[in-house]
A and B are shown apart, each in its own frame.
Chain A
Amino acid sequence: MARDARPQDWELLGLAPGAGLDQVRAAYARRKDLYGADALASYSLHDDAEREALLERLDDAYRTIVGELGDVVAVRAPVAPAPAVEVPPGPAPAVDQQPGAFLRHHRVARQVGTDRLAAETKIRASMLELLESESFHALPAPVYVRGFVVQCARALKLENPEGLAEAYVAKMQASIGDDT
């Protein structure tokens, strides 16, 4: 059954204990991608056995931490779902206030996993996680992000992909104080 999260679990995700759910999700998604079998950026750093063990430990650490955080979040605000247990969503968040959550809402509502959306859009799953969690500082320049959002919205057959992209980039720019 579920064990308690140890300092090593947080360390594996490169986070300090107590980081928020969005950070945990983003850190996990980024590493799943980074240590994937085809990833160029970690090529040869580990041998195959080490890499698989690392991925397993990442999964384990992630499940443990999200399990704990999920409980905490559930007590505080029963609406926030953990990605491992993607529940059917409630009402959709407002596009202009939470464009990332809006995307996630419609993806989950259509029962499309990030892996499938990644395959359809050719956008990495880790990037999709960053998009949905609005991890603006970890995302590339707004000009790329705009394109990502449009592609996701089209793949999910949402109305007005361009409008969603506009709202997303507007929030991103307001958040990082960058008007490029």
Chain B
Amino acid sequence: MDAGRMPSAPPPRVWAIGGGKGGIGKSVIAANLAVILAQRGRRVVLIDADLGGANLHTILGVSSRGPTLTDFVHRRCQRLCDIMVPTSTAGLSLISGSRALVDSANPKYNQKARLLRHIAALPADHVVLDLGAGSSFNVLDFFLAAEHGVVVVVPEATSVENAYHFLKAAYFRRMRRAQPRDRVKAAVAAAMAQLQALDIRSPKELLRRVSETDPVAAEGMLREARGFDPALVVNRVQRPEHRQLGADMGLACEDYFGRRMLLLGTIEEDEVVGRSVRERRPAAERYPDSRFVGGLQGVVERLVGEARVTRGA
């Protein structure tokens, strides 16, 4: 009860938006996904977890004063709902990220655990987490804790590179949990020692090899692999040949990790995005008929549909 909700209410669905690189439209996508969900009648909390580079308040046109996630992390506020502020969209609340304190960009393990616990207890149907750039453990842990981690990528080599770096880091971070730990460690070490001889080039092949030598360890690894469930949004597409990028990256990930990556949508470059940020009003409110918002509507539908399938709701 300490986070202020009835114990019987189901926990919110948490989606984390990441992708490794800054400046690819991640925050604008997170903000507008949250607005669209709220417009569809859901209770939504948008959390600016870009600790150190927060700017969702600007995108939504919310005052930058008032308590932030930093106050919660440092226990100046006890409950997450105390730092939620309403937005111009009915049903959507914002929890702002820190704007100044550098140390809050690296919360300790127990601070992170407390934050995740309180997120799960928020009085909301959906929580959208806007993650920071980079592949630090903090970003990865929030990404992995979400029902769906969504990677945003733009059709540029630097962005694709960061996305793969991010996905690999998240995969291996997840794999570290595989049980029984000692057997997994031993089996992986044995396979790695013969990497060349066994022609192992990907996590998928590593898993296949372990399944031949130690089925128990492989079962533990497979359990974690199944929980590795990233989704992809391709943003700012201009050229026709880049419309294939999402499907191609999905195939490359399937070949590499042995896991299907859900393609949520391909969004075309749209000048209303820049305009809406300048106007400090979310595009989903200001320009609901734009290509950008239309593309995001499709993303929301696929996310909600997928959630329904995986949760059997």
Contacts and interface: CB of A to CB of B under 8 A. Distances in A.
A41 B255 contact: no
Nearest to B160: A43
A117 interface: no
B254 A14 contact: yes
B279 interface: no
B157 A43 contact: yes
Interface residues of B, number: 22
Given A14-B254, A45-B164, A144 B248 contact: no
A46 B202 CA distance: 9
A40 interface: yes
B166 to A, nearest CB: 11
Contact of A44 (B155, B165, B241, B243): B165
Nearest to A46: B201
Contacts, number: 51
Contacts of A31: 251, 255
Given A46-B201, A50-B201, A144-B240, A41 B252 contact: yes
Interface of B: 155, 157, 160-161, 164-165, 199, 201, 208, 240-245, 248-249, 251-252, 254-256
Given A34-B248, A42-B249, A44-B160, 15 more contacts: A14-B251, A31-B251, A34-B251, A40-B160, A41-B245, A41-B249, A43-B161, A43-B164, A44-B157, A44-B161, A45-B256, A53-B199, A57-B199, A140-B243, A140-B244
Interface of A: 8, 11-12, 14, 30-31, 34-35, 39-46, 50, 53-54, 57, 124, 140, 144
